[in-house]
Amino acid sequence: MDWPKIPLGNFKNSKIYKNIEPVFRDDKDIDMVIGHSAGGSAALELEKNYPDRKITSVTYNAPVFERGDPE
């Protein structure tokens, strides 16, 4: 049931993100995350939520959704 969370903008509440976020948070040496499919969405979410870490994310077939900006 994690897929609907992507367009709703709350993928950080997904099971896959909750599994990886503590590992990423506790290991400051991680500077690259790679993921396929929902794992790719989790990698992108980590990159977005930790801008100070300046990580590189590599994704393969990651489902993404971005809301349009009226400006």
> pTM of this prediction?
0.71
**Alpha helices per DSSP H over the chain:** 5-8, 15-26, 38-49
Compute φ and ψ for 67, nearest 5 degrees. -75, 145
pLDDT tens digits for range 3-15: 555 555 566 778 8
45 touches 66 (CB < 8 A): no
Give the Cβ contact number of residue 52 at 10 Å. 5
Residues whose CB falls within 8 Å of the CB of residue 18, separated by 6 or more in sequence, listed in order = 12
pLDDT tens digits for range 32-59: 989 888 888 888 888 888 889 888 888 8
46 touches 33 (CB < 8 A): yes
